[in-house]
Amino acid sequence: MFEFASNRPFLVLKYANGFGRLLLVNPFKNQYETGTRVEILFSDVIAMEMRMFFDGLGIGEVDSFQIGNFASRPKEICEFGMRFYELKSPSWSGYVLGARVDLYEETFPPGEFPFKKPSHFWQAFETPQEWEARVQSERLKK
């Protein structure tokens, strides 16, 4: 069961409907202040009810009978292999219904600016054409 909690702020950086991928990160200003970047990637997302920014964030994997009564009625569309991830902030709660969640945390050396470095999960949002172009470019460099 996946569990995560942090008092740092987070925001939705990107959502790709076709891939069902949702990327949350702590903002650049916070990365600079703390010297770390935290990224959370949800995959195969088929439903969600959430805000675009969070002042502190808790994520917990819960059984379908534990999920609250949300207006979008996620229990009705839950498919085999899908998981409910409850999202909590100090004054708000929501959910993501997806197949998987991955967490990545990176620490930066003093004086390095984390916003100059791309997201660890950025390639998860590539289209097949972008992926092929990147692979071809990497092959040419070798």
Q: What gap in Å lies between CA 20 and CA 16, rounded to an integer?
A: 6
pLDDT tens per residue across span 90-139? 888 888 988 899 999 888 776 676 666 777 787 777 766 776 777 777 77
Q: What gap in Å lies between CA 129 and CA 112, rounded to an integer?
A: 32
Place of tokens 């009564």: 69
Which domain, by its residues, includes 100? 3-141
Alpha helices in the chain (DSSP H): 28-34, 128-141
For the cut 80, the answer to whether the pLDDT of residue 51 exceeds it is yes
Q: How many domains does the chain have?
A: 1
